[in-house]
Amino acid sequence: MKANKRDVLTGAHFIDGDHAAGEGAIAAGCKFVAGYPITPSTEIVERIAARFPLVGGMFIQMEDEIASSIAIQGAVWAGKKSMTVTSGPGFSLMMEHIGFAAITETPCVFINVQRGGPSTGLPTLPAQADMMQARWGSHGDYETIAIVPNSPQECFDLTIRAFNLAEEYRVPVLVMMDECVGHMTEKVVIPEADKIEIVERKFTKKSPGEYRLYDTNGTMFPEMVKAGDGYRIHLTGLTHDEKGYPAMSPKVQQKMLRRLVDKILTNEEKLRHIEEDQIDDADIVVVSYGITSRVVLPAIKKARKEGLKVGHVRLVTVWPFPEPYIRELAKKVDAFVVPELNLGQIVHEVERCAAGNAETKLVPHAGGAVHAPEDIYDAIKGVVVHA
Amino acid sequence: MLDQNAVETEIPEKENPVESLLRMDRMPHIWCPGCGIGTTVNCFARALEQSKLDLDSVSIVSGIGCTGRVAGYLNLDSFHTTHGRAIPFATGLKLANPNLKVVVYSGDGDLFAIGGNHFIHAARRNVDMTVICVNNLIYGMTGGQVAPTTPVTAKGTTYPYGSYDPPFNLPYLADSSGAVYVARWTTYHVRHATKAIKEALARRGFSFVEIISPCPTLYSRRNRLGDGLDQMNFYKENSVIKNGADTKDVGMDFQGKITVGKFVDRERKTYRQLMNEHLTNVFGEQYTPYEG
Amino acid sequence: MKKVQGTVVIKADRCKGCAFCVDFCPTDALQLSDQYNAKGYRLPELFEPEKCTGCDLCGLYCPDFAIHGFIIKKVA
């Protein structure tokens, strides 16, 4: 399925990441956005609010982020593609509804333009400190998909991808931007509508009599319906059986939860989205994501110039974490250097997967700015390379 | 006795009208003996039947709590959401598909404590939905804690010596927030409540029906008010019907008189009407209305 | 002269013995019986069947969907 021509602002634009993400959502066929103002994400909903009257979308500024994050799910069950947008404090308020989307398998998109925290923290300055919250923020076990753009162009591209993945995997997809990417202005090329691949919702063809809300038909993914079509569904945030009815038993919990988790984890390789650079001969690999993946480039270049065999792995999909990939890589290299705009989050995943086969070194930064490339260079230099 | 000479018409047995609206595979329900929630469901079922709405177009949205379970028992598109968030879910559902008839059915704690902010904003915006609040003056599901509706001096587990936390007057709150229809009845007033729900369903905009209902297990027992039937008889003896009463005068005291009736019935443009009118003025032919 | 004859259907397994139906029956046709269901709840019975008008107020009150009334005969 291709994007609708009316929704796509084809051409070369000079816009920031927030505006690009808004255009990405519109191009992806998003027709319902609920949001609440919060720096540094507000420009995304402002873009949506300005554009929706011209493309037949429904935007509502809700009373808070809690309301926004559940209103979008109401819209999904009315048959629409929906999104909400926020930053740290609002992301914290949305956590319960990420869990609700996960357990009810409601396809929707959450964009978090990360800023320094905790609490009100640094409203106008960047951080990458919500990465573990994206993974574990709501209570209980569940899996989502989190993708991390590093440029305005990617804010456009990956927001479309987020909508597509949400439909395909029946999960909330989190686009983990940061203040730098959100407010950085660069050239963004929006292609022709017929060059944009859109995954449409998979509505069931079964009759109301045959249909069951969580029947996966031998796959891992149930088919969707929408309110008003006569299916008389029951959707609940309680543990539920195949019919969608509450069922409070360890057996039902095990079956439901296992599939919610496995539908993502067993597809990790398919979902894997990484960029490798100079890996083949590398002794040291810098693992980065988001804005930091751009900051590391001069450091790697400088180290290479000095003869150090340094490579780079950029994680675009951070959750599910590319565990088998890092495990294998750890057997070939001496060390991972992990710069993050936090005091250590994804580094724990890298270290766990390295499993002692490679040294893992964090380059922390409390946020408020990006790393100085020298700090990353120094960390590379400090690694002991085994002959 | 029937007149022996008159012509008699035999009428076949009739189903309980609530049954066609229930998910019978989920019965019996979880509500306690003497709880009034099931009674309100009867009223709702009959109101819906009389309203002649296409049941496939009716969605019911609940939050969490005893009344929150209503969604799970009704054979409609039904959404049992998170605690306090039925109204914003319903807002998304209704705005995204304007052809749906959206009903929020939840309890006083869910709608007015954790969900209070959403209630006033949906009323302010006049989102087209009917909110039915079963007000049992207590948190039932969690075991009898005070609610924002618990009358002062009534006991709950979290105010064991009696509450001193001033409660909301729900019709006043709904009225002042902009609801187009506001009524209060008790589970004793089943025919009035049925009519009120029917009227609320017929209104375009944010309509609100409060139904005072017994919680024998957690409210009546702790406050030594007897069982469900005693509470029903209390409503019978102490309710005062005042249609058109000023909502600021209908607050409730512990075991005091209960003012019931239809308090508000007015017209206001809905959120969607306001949006379409305004944006048409701004954009003219360029405006592309949301199609739903 | 009464114009209608009604009756009720009681689904004993659903009853929780609240007695709303008995107390609010407008013609006092119902009373609590000596019968208990499997859960131990005391059931109502149509004690004076000829008094029932099939008004279904019992059905409207019953929180457990265990009783409802309807008209079985009408006099033309």
Tokens of A88: 């740290």
CB atoms within 10 A of CB A119: 8
Decide: A115 and A126 in contact? Cβ < 8 Å: yes
Please tell me the predicted confidence (pLDDT) of residue B192.
Answer: 98
* Sign of the four-CA dihedral B188, B190, B191, B195: positive
* Nearest CA distance, B227 vs chain C (angstrom): 8
Pick the residue of A82, A236, A245 with the most B CBs within 10 A to test the interface with B by mutation. A236
Overall average pLDDT of the A221-239 stretch: 98
Write down the mean pLDDT value for chain A: 97
Burial of A344 (0-12, 13-18, 19+ CB in 10 A): middle
Domain count, chain B: 1
Tokens of A140: 């209980």
Please tell me the predicted confidence (pLDDT) of residue A246.
Answer: 96
Please tell me the predicted confidence (pLDDT) of residue C15.
Answer: 97
Overall average pLDDT of the B162-184 stretch: 98
Pick the residue of C1, C4, C20, C58 with the most B CBs within 10 A to test the interface with B by mutation. C20
Is the CB of B288 inside 8 Å of chain A's CB atoms? yes
CB contact set of A214 (below 8 Å; sequence gap of 6+): A105, A222, A240, A241, A242, A243, A244, A256
The strand ranges marked E within chain A are 11-16, 32-35, 58-61, 82-86, 108-116, 122-126, 145-147, 172-178, 185-190, 234-236, 274-277, 284-288, 310-315, 317-319, 335-339, 359-363
Domain holding B95: CATH number? Answer: 3.40.50.970
Q: What is d(CA B89, CA A74) in angstroms, rounded to the nearest whole number?
A: 5
Overall average pLDDT of the A128-155 stretch: 98
B46 neighbourhood in chain C, CB within 8 Å? 60
Please tell me the predicted confidence (pLDDT) of residue B9.
Answer: 81
Decide: A207 and A172 in contact? Cβ < 8 Å: no
Examine residue B14 and state whether it is found in any structural domain, yes or no. Answer: no
Q: What is d(CA C9, CA B14) in angstroms, rounded to the nearest whole number?
A: 9
Overall average pLDDT of the A27-45 stretch: 98
Pick the CATH number of A273-381 from 3.40.50.920, 3.40.50.1170, 3.30.70.20, 3.40.50.1100: 3.40.50.920
Nearest CA to B173 out of B103, B106, B116, B237 is that of B116
Confidence tier at B4 by pLDDT (50, 70, 90): low
Tokens of A304: 């290479």
Decide: B91 and B123 in contact? Cβ < 8 Å: no
Q: Do A70 and B96 touch (CB under 8 A)?
A: no
Q: What is d(CA B276, CA B291) in angstroms, rounded to the nearest whole number?
A: 11
Tokens of B14: 């009739």
Please tell me the predicted confidence (pLDDT) of residue B202.
Answer: 98
User: Do A5-195 and A273-381 have matching folds?
Assistant: yes
What SS3 state is found at A372?
A: coil
Examine residue B12 and state whether it is found in any structural domain, yes or no. Answer: no
Examine residue B62 and state whether it is found in any structural domain, yes or no. Answer: yes
Which residue of chain C comes nearest to B193, CA vs CA? C60
Nearest CA to B121 out of A303, A317, A368, A64 is that of A64
What SS3 state is found at A176?
A: strand
Decide: A297 and A322 in contact? Cβ < 8 Å: no
Tokens of A344: 């250590």
Is the CB of B281 inside 8 Å of chain A's CB atoms? no
Overall average pLDDT of the B251-268 stretch: 98
Nearest CA to A339 out of A281, A284, A266 is that of A284
Q: Do B81 and A237 touch (CB under 8 A)?
A: yes
Please tell me the predicted confidence (pLDDT) of residue C74.
Answer: 87
Go through the domains of chain C in sequence order and give each one's CATH number.
4-74 (3.30.70.20)
Q: Do B190 and C61 touch (CB under 8 A)?
A: yes
Q: In the predicted model, is pLDDT for residue A364 greater than 90?
A: yes
Mapping DSSP onto H, E and C, the string for B44-108 reads HHHHHHHHCCCHHHEEEEECCCCHHHHHHHECCEEEECCCCCHHHHHHHHHHHCCCCEEEEEEEH
Q: Do chains C and A have 3 or more beta-carbon pairs under 8 angstroms?
A: no
What is the distance, to the nearest Å, from the Cα of residue B127 to the centroid of all Cα atoms in its chain? 16
Q: In the predicted model, is pLDDT for residue B2 greater than 60?
A: no
Please tell me the predicted confidence (pLDDT) of residue B132.
Answer: 98
Nearest CA to A109 out of A5, A193, A27, A1 is that of A27
- A296, B103, B131, C63 from B107: Cα distances, Å: 54, 13, 10, 16
Q: In the predicted model, is pLDDT for residue A93 greater than 80?
A: yes
Examine residue B19 and state whether it is found in any structural domain, yes or no. Answer: no
Of all residues in chain A, what percent carry a pLDDT higher than 90? 99
Please tell me the predicted confidence (pLDDT) of residue B102.
Answer: 98
Is the CB of B283 inside 8 Å of chain A's CB atoms? yes
Instruction: Break chain A into its structural domains and give their ranges.
Output: 5-195, 273-381
Mapping DSSP onto H, E and C, the string for chain B reads CCCCCCCEEECCCCCCCCHHHECHHHCCCCCCCCCCHHHHHHHHHHHHHHHCCCHHHEEEEECCCCHHHHHHHECCEEEECCCCCHHHHHHHHHHHCCCCEEEEEEEHHHHHHHCHHHHHHHHHHCCCEEEEEEECCEECCCCCEECCCCCCCCCECCECCCCCCCCCCHHHHHHHHCCCEEEEEECCCHHHHHHHHHHHHHCCCEEEEEEECCCHHHHHCCCCCCCHHHHHHHHHHHEEECCCCCHHHCCCCCCCCEEEEEEEECCCCCHHHHHHHHHHHHHHHHCCCCCC
pLDDT per residue over A263-276, tens digit each? 999 999 999 999 99
Q: What is d(CA A255, CA A242) in angstroms, rounded to the nearest whole number?
A: 10
Please tell me the predicted confidence (pLDDT) of residue A384.
Answer: 73
Q: In the predicted model, is pLDDT for residue B128 greater than 80?
A: yes
Pick the residue of A4, A32, A63, A109 with the most B CBs within 10 A to test the interface with B by mutation. A63
CATH superfamily of A5-195: Thiamin diphosphate (ThDP)-binding fold, Pyr/PP domains (3.40.50.970)
Examine residue B158 and state whether it is found in any structural domain, yes or no. Answer: yes
ipTM above 0.95, yes or no: yes
Overall average pLDDT of the A87-93 stretch: 98
Which residue in the set B78, B85, B95 is minimally distant from A58, CB to CB? Answer: B95
* Nearest CA distance, B189 vs chain C (angstrom): 9
Q: Which residue has the tokens 């009407």?
A: B273
Q: What is the largest CA-CA distance in chain B?
A: 75
pLDDT per residue over B67-97, tens digit each? 999 999 999 999 999 999 999 999 999 999 9
pLDDT per residue over A168-201, tens digit each? 999 999 999 999 999 999 999 999 999 999 999 9
Q: Do A234 and B23 touch (CB under 8 A)?
A: yes
* Nearest CA distance, A304 vs chain B (angstrom): 53
Examine residue B152 and state whether it is found in any structural domain, yes or no. Answer: yes
> Using CA atoms in the order A133, A135, A139, A144, what is the torsion angle rounded to 10 degrees?
130
Please tell me the predicted confidence (pLDDT) of residue A385.
Answer: 72
- A67, A133, B103, B106, B108 from B131: Cα distances, Å: 16, 34, 6, 8, 11
Decide: B16 and C59 in contact? Cβ < 8 Å: yes
Confidence tier at B162 by pLDDT (50, 70, 90): very high
Decide: B207 and B180 in contact? Cβ < 8 Å: yes
- A106, A275, B145, B149 from B109: Cα distances, Å: 26, 50, 10, 8
